[in-house]
Amino acid sequence: MPAWGDDPELLATFRAEVEERLASLQSGLLALETHQSPRQVITVLFRDAHTVKGSARMLGLEGVLHVAHNMEDLLGALRDGRFAVRKDHVDLLLAACDGIARALPGEAALDDAALTPLVEALVAAVAGADPVSVPTFAVAPVPDQPTPAEAEVPRQSSVRVAASKVYDLLDAVGEADLGARRVEQTTGTLLSLAAEQARWAGVLRQATHRHAATLPPDVALALHRLVGAGDELSGTVRNLRELVEGHRGGMALVRDGAMGLAMVPVRRVFAALPRIVRDVAQATGKDVVLETSGEEVELDKQVLDGVADALKHLVINAVDHGCELPLDRVAAGKPPQAVVTVSARSVGGTVVIEVTDDGAGIDEDAVRDKAVRLGLLAPDTTATGAALLRLLYTPSFSTSETVTETSGRGVGLDVVRDAVEELGGSVEIRSDTGAGTAFVLTLPVTLGVLRCLIARVGHERYAVPVPGVVESLSLRDAELHTMAGAPFVLRHGVSVPLLDLSAALGLTRGAGEAPRAALIVRHASGSQVAWAVDRLEGESELVVKDLGAFLGRVPYVAGATIDGDGSVICLLDLRELADRAVGGAGFLAAADAAEPRKATAVPGVKRPRVLVVEDSIGVRELERVILEGAGYLVETAVDGLDGASRLRDEPADLVLSDVEMPGMDGFDLTRTIRRTKGWENVPVVIMTSRGEDHARQAGLDAGCSAYLLKNEFDQEQLVSTVRRLVGR
């Protein structure tokens, strides 16, 4: 597989990336001294320096690598408040940017030795030197002769430069395609009119024959010519329809051709990975081999550019954190050489890129301990699985105790998630203790033409990108239940909050109309939300544009397209809507509207404490709101194991638990409560969707005090049951 330096176009891509990051660095540094929140600026600068360092490692530029690494050290010290930002610090960092720019491959490039004063000055600054010495560089010589044309070829063929022209072309193709659809609709109207005219012309012809002897000659001639013109018109309209159909086919070819210009194989990014694996493995004393597949799978250049850094982070983490040392692997019964696999495959309208290692897997205990130290989890938590691994996306979250040139700074997985979600994709973590870890990135093939579901809400139609939809379903066949007046849909044993898209968008629905379909989207926390729509009108490929400077950023709208009839169809960002709904008052509106009866606080009387154990964020939050509104002090646990970890605390006055939960279900939790000293007599209320007789009996046998069904109870029933069992 070729390396970066072996391919002029890859080299041009590298230069463009570094130059863009350097421009961002210099802009941020100039604003750093006067910014009211320098820490926010430094965080962005830190990421830019980290990216430059990674790019330098790929190309083997050791001098640039050391400069960027020490820039990170200085920015990290400023970010952590070890000393205040001074002008000489900014001057030194700007000089470092200049040095990196001068050291990029090309004529008169600085060698590694010329960068040594920069490295030494940065090291001294981190050590606390005051003032800091700022090295200077000689002015680059101006060549007597113009640069040969061949030297400009890589820069001119840069992916980033070519892409803008391609997307301008796609915009023009979209406009032309819209025009073709309008002509097609007009042609259909003409065909209908021509058919109607031909029918009445036939009637007129028959009438002319019957009364030919009494008609004036000029009238008879006019009628004859009129009928003949109608026949010719019908033939012309049919020919027009054939031309339009051919034109639409040609426009499709043009659009596909333009998209083909914007598509590049993922091998462009894969080519940089062997060097990364080699360098990181050598730095960490590991023996790692890289295996790749699917190099010819193609992605939009914008998508590939956007995911390149994320992929690099994942490969570095796979080697540095995932793979074990040779001796440790042998002791675990594995071959001494670890394997990191990077694969790409096309799945429908998406591309799935997977980074896998055969290492020890993610240490959940280390993740849990770090989360507790950061205050993200309670000290006695026993959170496991996907809910725990999602904490790895927290900014500055790292289980590494040491800082190296490869990792350990907390820059990584939050960058990966942000980059992928910015492209409209998703990332998933899978880990198997002792067997390895996999990061699965699902990306749209292109950003220019999106495959969308068309949903009707009221009198409007909206487009929803297919990659953002987990599942679509008919509400007629779905299993629905309500909780405190809020609807939920049961999918694969999980209760998913069901929200009305019409209400969220402030639209009105006609009398007697009701939503008939729903779209399930993934929330950023890993949970799911279902949006009810009036109906789904199919799937279509749309050329979507942004709303332009006049409208600017409109909440929940990612762009728009124009249908053949001239109507505007907005592209909705349902995940942004879900963020508001689950994270704020929007999701709890149904519970708030129910106006739960609040208990009057009595001075000197301790409020009863209720422990809610539920793995569904929607159900958990609704139960919390209802019980807190009734005057109870509510604590929550994310699953059965998390709930069991609370048994070391002072007993609660009541436990409200779901049944189906990962790790430990509600029946096992109830039995554990009954066996725990001090908790033996605590009432346990089971609330579940399982209404079978054997499930009820299992709950009673486990020792539950009450068994409620989610699809039957209302908030008054829940509150009255809790009050009856608690006694107040």
Q: Are residues 148 and 26 in the same domain?
A: yes
Please count the structural domains in the chain: 5
Question: Pairing between strand 449-457 and 535-543?
Answer: antiparallel
CATH of the domain at 695: 3.40.50.2300
Same domain? For 556 and 516 the reply is yes
Mark whether 193 and 302 lie in a shared domain: no
Distance CA(728)–CA(724), nearest Å, equals: 7
Q: Does the pLDDT at position 6 exceed 70? A: no
pTM of the model: 0.54
Instruction: Quick: pLDDT tens for 351-364.
Output: 899 999 999 888 88
Domain that holds residue 215: 161-264
Least-confidence region, from 137-151, 197-211, 450-464: 137-151
The pLDDT-based confidence of 169 (bands split at 50, 70, 90) is confident
CATH number, domain of 403, equals: 3.30.565.10
401-426 pLDDT tens trace: 554 555 544 446 777 888 887 787 88
Q: Are residues 574 and 557 in the same domain?
A: yes
* 558 backbone dihedrals φ, ψ, rounded to 5°: -95, -10
| pLDDT band, very low/low/confident/very high, at 156 (cuts 50, 70, 90) | very low
**Model pLDDT for residues 555-583, shown as the tens digit of each residue:** 778 778 777 666 788 888 777 776 665 54
Residue 442 maps to a domain: no
**Residue at a domain's end among 401, 432, 463:** 432
pLDDT the model gives residue 7: 56
Closest CA to 310 of 408, 411, 241: 411
Tell me what the pLDDT averaged over the chain comes to: 78
Determine the pLDDT at residue 612: 92
Same domain, yes or no: 390 and 280? yes
Please say if the pLDDT value at position 199 is more than 60. Answer: yes
Distance of CA 131 to the CA centre of its chain: 44
**Predicted confidence band of residue 124 (pLDDT cuts 50, 70, 90):** very high
CA 62/CA 695 separation, integer angstroms: 65
Residue 437 lies in a domain: no
pLDDT digits (tens, 9 = 90+) for 504-555: 887 777 667 778 888 888 765 456 788 888 888 888 777 777 776 666 667 7
Same domain, 508 and 578: yes
Same domain, 38 and 168: no
Residue 347 lies in a domain: yes
Residue 515, pLDDT score: 85
Same domain, 291 and 416: yes
Q: How far apart are the C-alpha atoms of 183 and 174, rounded to whole Å?
A: 14
Please indicate whether residue 497 or residue 4 has the higher confidence score (pLDDT): 497
pLDDT winner (highest mean) among 169-183, 283-297, 617-631: 283-297
Domain final position from 214, 249, 264:
264
Helices 715-726 and 617-629 pack at an angle, to 10 degrees, of 60
At 129-148, the pLDDT tens digits run 888 888 887 554 444 444 44
Residues 165 and 191 in one domain: yes
Q: How many helices (H) and strands (E) does the chain have?
A: 24, 23
Q: Has residue 312 been placed in a domain? A: yes
SS3 569: strand
The residues, ordered by sequence, that sit 6+ positions from 625 with a Cβ below 8 Å of its Cβ are 484, 588, 591, 592, 596
Which tokens hold the place of 670? 């109830």
CATH number at 515 reads 2.30.30.40
Alpha-carbon distance 721 to 420, whole Å?
46
Residue 440, domain member (yes or no): no
The vertex-82 CA angle with 85 and 136, nearest 5°, equals 45
Q: How far apart are the C-alpha atoms of 527 and 497, rounded to whole Å?
A: 10
| Structural domain includes residue 438 | no
Return the minimum-mean-pLDDT range out of 73-87, 209-223, 321-335: 209-223
What are the residues whose beta carbons fall under 8 Å from the beta carbon of 671, sequence distance 6 or more? 702, 703
Give a yes or no: residue 443 inside a domain: no
Dmax over CA atoms of the chain, in Å, equals: 116
Query: What is the CATH number for 106?
Result: 1.20.120.160
CA dist., res. 220 & res. 552, Å (int): 64
> Do 83 and 114 lie in a common domain?
yes
**Which residue from 493, 723, 715, 469 is spatially nearest to 588, judged by alpha carbons?**
715
- Same domain? For 242 and 166 the reply is yes
Quick one: pLDDT at residue 580?
65
How sure is the predictor about 630, in pLDDT bands with cuts at 50, 70 and 90? confident
- In the listed set 130, 157, 184, which residue is the last one of a domain according to the structure? 157
Q: Which strands, in side-by-side order, build the sheet including 568-572?
A: 535-543, 449-457, 460-465, 568-572, 557-562
Which band of pLDDT confidence, cut at 50, 70 and 90, is reported for residue 588? very low
Are 105 and 229 in the same domain? no
